[in-house]
Amino acid sequence: MSFFQMSSPSVARRLFLAHSGLALSGAAVALLAGQDALAAQAGSPSANDVPILNTALGAELEAIAAYQLGAESKLLKAGVLDLALSFQGHHKEHADMLAKTVQKLGGSPVQAKAKYNFPVEQLRSQADVLRFAASLEQGAVSAYLGAVPLFGNRDLSKAAASILGDEAMHWAILRQALGDTAVPAAFMS
């Protein structure tokens, strides 16, 4: 079962954290932000950074594929299709930066899978596609929420919180498009 197919946010968070193993180094975050000077100050990247970055890159590539599936489904109306493609663009930007960072650290970026195991047979309407996308974004929010306090480096926490914010906005907008309350609770879990 993939990160983006989790039905339970807490299961998605545990899988993401267990799959990534360790937190990213300060140098990796600096490289992600394009700040090579800061990376030098933060110390050398650890041997674990490339596998962790590749895990995140794999998740981003899966998200790109999921939004592509929705876009090609012919189930999305014009405005909703534009929204899905916009969110896909955010994931493409994340993937591009992660791949470049893996290369800067001397690693080989993972590639997108030829095929993902998405619930295609369950996507019969625009609402089905939106629910699928919302569940993916909710899983991402939950994963980053669990990761933020695990970082010893404040810059890493800040970077993870920034991504969490982006994923939370995606989730809220998708919920609103479904006619659900955009923000269902005062606290995330």
100-149, pLDDT tens digit by residue? 777 877 889 999 999 999 999 999 999 999 999 999 888 877 776 765 66
Q: Is the pLDDT of residue 72 over 90?
A: yes
* Residue matched to tokens 């993939």: 2
Q: Is the pLDDT of residue 84 over 50?
A: yes
Rounded to whole angstroms, what are the CA distances from 62 to 51, 110, 176?
16, 11, 23
Rounded to whole angstroms, what are the CA distances from 164 to 141, 148, 157?
5, 9, 10
Task: Flag whether 182 is in a domain.
Answer: no
Instruction: Please state the domain count of the chain.
Output: 1
- The DSSP call for residue 77 is -
Nearest Cα neighbor of 6 from 146, 111, 126, 149 is 146
Task: Flag whether 187 is in a domain.
Answer: no
Task: Flag whether 81 is in a domain.
Answer: yes
Q: Which of 1-15, 43-57, 59-73, 77-91 has the lowest mean pLDDT?
A: 1-15
Q: pTM of the predicted model, to two decimals?
A: 0.71
What the block records as the tokens of 145 is: 């929420």
The range of the structural domain enclosing residue 171 comes to 7-177
Task: Flag whether 83 is in a domain.
Answer: yes
CATH number of the domain residue 141 falls in: 1.20.1260.10
Task: Flag whether 2 is in a domain.
Answer: no
Confidence band of 93 (pLDDT split at 50, 70, 90): confident
Task: Flag whether 153 is in a domain.
Answer: yes
